[in-house]
């Protein structure tokens, strides 16, 4: 088999960064009043700024597919004509602009300079970006493609606008006592962001500069044993099943804010760290790898609240990673869902700090129905 390398990484962030103080200017005020929970949530999640693909009046500035295409253009900024050489477009998102056509097809439509190529559209939530990446990795490794692009993007700000929410009581006392409540409905407004990232995957490393050899990508889902934790376009019933938006009359969709993103916080607190990072231990054991070999650890975090939880669990399992090896950009970019891991890796890749032979471990937990993706890269 061929080897597969990440040879270029690019990202696209819409407009200017939005500070914590400006958030409601963009997202609006529920019932015309400032949020009472915002300060508590932001204190827990540690985010200081993020990006929105909209103006303060709520008008969108970019579609999801357009941001993805702009990130892909960034891969070829030195030679735009090279876009015509792409032979695979693998595009992921949890927030497509439409149900049909596929997100990948829409991204391809924003890239008229490309040829008629294979397009795939992995769906899901945070892990979707890693699924898109794994597809590109596999087809290059099999020798089927020479210049594969993997991309992940999110445009979540439009569903965080105040007009998408019903009049809800904000349980401040419960929020102070149990920070997991910050991952429910209205509270998710203060955590999610817009943007896109893209990888170029090729069978040979760059002749100049660094590349990232893809050693392995492993994933796991626990949906066979766990009910849904995060969901959108559905309502969770008492038996744990989801009732689809298709089965609600139009008036109930609006009144019950069926298209708001929601989480079952009890499940989140019990499961999100332990399930996935137990799997990481088994992966490393199978690979015969020692965690001390890792030079950089890039965990996708929805909130800094989970940083300590992950650190504690890794230490309990004999997989402790010194904090100086951790890297995340959550504080400045927010949680960009499927695109977050692309943006983190782009910042490390372009930092000038990487040395050949160093190993980078990526970890992406997804709470929707408890899926996880892990990847090991070697700087070369």
The tens digit of pLDDT for each residue in 170-215 reads 454 555 565 554 455 667 789 899 999 999 999 999 999 999 999 9
Cβ-contact 119, 177 below 8 angstroms: no
Residues 201 and 136: beta-carbon distance below 8 Å: yes
| pLDDT score at 166 | 52
pTM over 0.85, yes/no: yes
Phi, psi of 110 (to 5 degrees): -85, 5
Residue-by-residue DSSP string for 116-141: S-EEE---SSTTHHHHHHHHHHHHHH
Rg (C-alpha) for the chain, rounded Å, is 20
Beta bridge partners of 216: 376
Helix/strand/coil percent split, the chain, to 5: 40, 20, 40
Q: How far apart are CA 153 and CA 159, in angstroms?
A: 15
Rounded to whole angstroms, the Cα distance separating 242 from 234 reads 6
Which residue in this structure is represented by tokens 């019990």? 270
pLDDT attached to residue 52? 98
Regions of the chain with pLDDT less than 50: 167-170, 172, 181-182
pLDDT of residue 186: 64
Mark 32-69 as b/e (b = at least 16 C-beta within 10 Å): eeebebbebbbebbebebbbbbbeeeeebebbbbbbbb
Domains recognised in the chain with CATH numbers: 5-202 (3.40.47.10), 212-221+263-379 (3.40.47.10)
Q: How do residues 265-286 score in pLDDT, each as one tens digit?
A: 788 888 889 898 989 999 999 9
Q: What is the pLDDT of residue 179?
A: 53
Report pLDDT for 90.
Answer: 98
Average pLDDT of the residues of the chain: 92
DSSP class of residue 113 equals: T
What pLDDT, on the 0 to 100 scale, is given for residue 37? 81
């Amino acid at each position: 088999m061929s080897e597969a390398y990440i040879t270029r990484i690019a990202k696209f962030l819409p407009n200017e960064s939005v500070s914590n103080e400006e958030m409601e200017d963009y997202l609006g005020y529920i019932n015309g009043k400032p949020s009472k929970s915002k300060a508590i949530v932001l204190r827990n999640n540690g985010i200081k700024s993020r990006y929105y693909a909209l103006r303060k009046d709520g008008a969108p500035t970019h579609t999801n597919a357009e941001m993805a295409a702009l990130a892909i253009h960034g891969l070829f900024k030195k030679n735009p004509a090279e876009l015509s050489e792409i032979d695979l477009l693998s595009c992921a998102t949890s927030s497509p602009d439409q149900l049909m056509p596929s997100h990948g097809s829409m991204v391809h439509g924003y890239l008229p300079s490309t040829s008629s190529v294979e397009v795939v559209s992995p769906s899901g939530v945070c892990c979707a970006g890693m699924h898109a990446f794994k597809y590109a990795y596999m087809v290059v490794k099999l020798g089927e493609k020479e210049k594969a692009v993997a991309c992940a993007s999110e445009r979540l700000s439009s569903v965080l606008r105040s007009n998408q929410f019903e009049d809800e009581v904000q349980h401040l006392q419960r929020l102070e006592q149990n920070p997991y409540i910050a991952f429910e409905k209205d509270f998710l407004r203060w955590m999610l962001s817009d943007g896109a990232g893209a990888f170029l995957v090729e069978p040979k490393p760059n002749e100049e500069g660094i590349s990232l050899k893809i050693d392995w990508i492993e994933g796991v889902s626990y949906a066979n044993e766990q009910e849904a934790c995060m969901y959108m376009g559905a309502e969770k019933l008492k038996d744990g099943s989801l009732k689809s938006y298709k089965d609600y009359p139009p008036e109930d969709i609006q009144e019950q804010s069926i298209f708001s993103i929601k989480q079952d916080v009890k499940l989140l607190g019990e499961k999100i760290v332990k399930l996935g990072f137990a799997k990481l231990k088994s992966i490393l054991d199978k690979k015969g790898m020692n965690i001390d070999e890792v030079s950089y650890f890039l965990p996708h975090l929805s909130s800094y609240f989970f940083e300590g939880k992950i650190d504690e669990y890794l230490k309990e399992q004999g997989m402790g990673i010194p904090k100086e090896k951790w890297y995340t950009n959550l504080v400045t970019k927010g949680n960009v869902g499927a695109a977050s891991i692309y943006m983190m890796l782009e910042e490390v890749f372009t930092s000038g700090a990487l040395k050949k032979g160093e190993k980078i471990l990526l970890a992406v937990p997804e709470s929707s129905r408890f899926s996880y993706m892990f990847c090991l890269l070697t700087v070369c």
